[in-house]
Structure 1
Amino acid sequence: MAAGPEPMDLIRNRVVLKEFGIQNVHTTDFPGNYPGYDDTWNQRRFEENFRVDIVRLEEDTLEFDMVGIDAAIANAFRRILLAEVPTMAVEKAFIYNNTSIVQDEILAHRLGLIPIKADPRLFEYRSTVYSKHMKWVPIGNQADLFGQVDIRPVHDDILIAQLRPGQEIDVMMHCVKGIGKDHAKFSPVATASYRLLPDITLLSPVEGDLAEKLKCCFSPGVIEVQTVNGRKFATVANSRLDTCSREIFRHDDLKNLVRLGRVRDHYIFSVESTGILLPEVLVSEALKVLMTKCRRFLNELDAVQMD
């Protein structure tokens, strides 16, 4: 039985992978991309459709789905995680003695890339300094001030240099607060990425040996073969696991039986922390940065309207 026409909502919400190209490549909700469809932005509709689902949370890794947003917002959130959530890192290295085979410049570079486990929310950014800001601060007071804070490298086994007998390294380091767009050493994530949720649709029943062949075309767990009354049928078990490799298009007897696509507004985020802050804290801080940007933009619009 032939399938009827699909609803416009479903058509516009899928990026379809073809054998030699992509159909419906729009990744934005900008009005006018779909003639005859009312795709103007609506706050009520956005609030009804938007959601965040936590999929996996480990010590340094968080995987979550952000559904119902535009690609520009998803990418802005990723860029903020990479470059605008602050951390602490070594800024200056005063090398008093270094008799190792590692040059001073390389040593300083390595020290700068060691993640420092210090909550950046407890520190302030460097600001412009005037003579009125000069004051004497006893070194010994720092032990009382930060006595309850465990400031140290995230990992104890990061190799900086190998010393031969008689060699030594004597360095004093100053750490400052910064963000990744100033220098990569301040980036709080080892990786922050997203991908669209895969969508796999069987256009007609796939049975027998063809079902087993179909299963082999996808990543493990995507397609399952069930036996009903002695007959084998292929079913889509978990399209989320698919890597969209297009292996299916190499087989003439299968490529017209399956539609490969991705849900255009369903983003699967993966955030891996360097260990400075928990990944859920990083996501929360990134959201605060994004909200601050939005408020600043709205204030600028209000100022323009008043002029």
Structure 2
Amino acid sequence: MEICVLEKSSNKLRLSIRGASLPLVNAIRRACYIEVPVMAIDIVEVFDNNTVLYDEIIAHRLGLIPLTSSEALKKYKRPEECANAQLGDPDCYVTLRLDVETGPREERVVYSGDLETSDPDVKPAFENIPIVIMAPDQRLRLQAYARLGYGREHAKWMPVSVAVHKYLPILVFDLEKASKECIECIEASYPWVAEQMKKLGKGELKITDDVNTSALYWCVVKRCGDAVQLRFDDNQFLFKIESTGALPPEEVVREAVRAIVRKAENLLSEIARLRREEE
């Protein structure tokens, strides 16, 4: 299997994967969603709240705030180990506090950055997520507990907002046969593709950019005839994930692969155990 990084940023990763089967690539994609643990607020104790939002709504919003989790994976126990832990157990929970009050003529927005955490390694990934707008003479005081969890429990524990894959699109063309309408159609939505086609004149063009090829397919079918064909390489995938900010995208992929390996090892171990029992 050959993996090439096409694009990488703080919250986005695009890979080219060659030589892997569709089930394997899809297993990695699914594992990115539901098998990689991250921190999220799970329990909220509200002591004082006379804002416009009910306690439950504020608790729900707090749960959806991404929390940085890279160090948490090393420091805190996994969800399955904390099933019976006491609330506030330092090996399982991080405590976050919020205490905001407005004056008689003051209005303000409470942001995720206003949360105070007991562990500086576990904090809101973004400080500008609005929680509630406070009117004059209002107070919001609460304590929240965050723990590691899996996306299969709740979406707030999903470390990615996007995890997708597709076969590599390949454009096979011969401009000598292409009509003016064909070139103009492609040029309208994919100017860089038309430019590359004009440079090459004839041949194949692999489209590794992060683009939707639906309009290109329409041009091929409706305007280009036999001059241009859009094919897909079923031995090469374009894989993209976008992180919520809880983990760097490359770490999400690594943890997803480790989760798959652990599951495979557990399966082999169980098969071996059953065989021993049969003997």
TM range (shorter): 0.7 to 0.9
- From the superposition, tell whether residues 57 and 84 of structure 1 become closer, same or farther in structure 2 (CA, over 3 Å): same
Q: Measure, in 2, the Cα distance between the counterparts of 1:104 and 1:135.
A: 20
Q: How many residues align?
A: 243
- Provide TM-score, normalisation by structure 2: 0.77
Given that 2:67 and 2:125 are in contact with CA atoms closer than 8 Å, whether structure 1 keeps it comes out as: yes
Q: Hey, what's the Cα distance between the residues in 1 that align with 2:244 and 2:53?
A: 25
Work out the CA distance in 1 between the residues paired with 2:199 and 2:2: 36
Match of 1:221 among 192, 195, 199: 192
2-structure distance, mates of 1:149, 1:170: 20
> How far apart in 1 are the matches of 2:177 and 2:88?
78
Partner residue in 2 for 1:200: 171
Alpha-carbon separation, structure 2, partners of 1:179 and 1:227: 49
Q: Mind listing any 5+ residue stretches in structure 2 that lack a counterpart? A: 96-116
Alignment deviations for residues 140-195 of structure 1 (CA, whole Å, 9 cap, x no partner): xx9xxx98843311111110000000111111101111010001111111211111
Q: Name the structure where helix makes up a greater proportion of residues.
A: 2
Residue 303 to residue 117, structure 1, CA distance change in 2 (3 Å): same
Match of 2:208 in 1: 240
Tell me the alpha carbon deviations over residues 104-154 of structure 1, each in whole angstroms, 9 at most, x when there is no partner.
111110000011123331211353538xx99998xxxx9xxx988433111
Aligned equivalent of 1:279: 249
Residue identity matched to 1:56: E
Cα–Cα, structure 1 residues 135 and 100, in superposed 2: closer, same or farther, change >3 Å? closer
Going from structure 1 to structure 2, the CA distance change for 1:155 and 1:136 (only over 3 Å counts) comes to: closer
Q: Check whether the contact 1:214–1:234 (CA below 8 A) recurs between aligned residues.
A: no
1:250 to 201, 215, 222: 222
Q: Does 1:127 align with 2:96?
A: no
Q: Which amino acid aligns with 2:143?
A: M
Kindly report which structure 2 residues correspond to 1:79-228, keeping only aligned pairs within 5 A, or say none: 79-118=30-69, 119-121=71-73, 122-124=75-77, 125=79, 126-129=81-84, 149-202=120-173, 205-206=176-177, 209=180, 212-213=183-184, 215-216=186-187, 219-224=190-195, 225-226=197-198
Kept in 2, the 8 Å contact 1:91–1:175? The answer is: yes
Q: 1:55 and 1:128, CA in 2 relative to 1: closer, same or farther beyond 3 A?
A: closer
Q: Which amino acid aligns with 1:63?
A: R
Equivalent position SS for 2:132: coil
Can you list the C-alpha shifts for 1:72-131, whole angstroms capped at 9, x where unaligned?
Answer: 11111111001110001101000111100011111110000011123331211353538x
**How far did residue 277 of structure 1 move?**
1.6
Q: CA deviation at 1:265?
A: 2.5
Contact in 2 for aligned 1:62/1:279 (Cα 8 Å): yes
CA RMSD of aligned residues (A): 3.0
Q: Using a 3 Å threshold, how does the CA distance of structure 1 residues 97 and 53 change in structure 2: closer, same or farther? A: same
Worse-superposed segment, 180-189 or 61-70: 61-70
Asked if the contact 1:223/1:236 (under 8 Å) is kept, the reply is no
Q: Name the amino acid aligned to 1:123.
A: Y
- Distance in 1, matches of 2:44 and 2:171, equals 54
Give the AA of the match of 1:243.
Answer: N
Distance 1:206 1:236, change over 3 A: farther
Amino acid at match of 1:120: A
Q: Residues 241-286 of structure 1: CA distance to partner in whole angstroms, max 9, x if unpaired?
A: 46332222112xx222222111112111111111122111111111
* Alpha carbons 2:170, 2:205 under 8 Å: kept: no
Give the aligned partner of residue 74 of structure 1. Answer: 25
**C-alpha separation between the residues in 2 aligned to 1:297 and 1:202?**
47
Distance 1:129 1:83, change over 3 A: closer
Which amino acid is 1:304 matched to? L
The unaligned stretches of length 5 or more in structure 1 are: 1-49
For the pair shown, which has the larger CA radius of gyration, 1 or 2? 1
Partner amino acid, structure 2, of 1:87: V
Aligned counterpart for 2:264 among listed residues 294, 299, 306: 294
| TM-score, L = length of structure 1 | 0.70
Q: Secondary structure at the match of 1:129?
A: coil
2-structure distance, mates of 1:113, 1:166: 27
- Please state how far the C-alpha of 1:302 moved relative to its aligned partner: 2.1
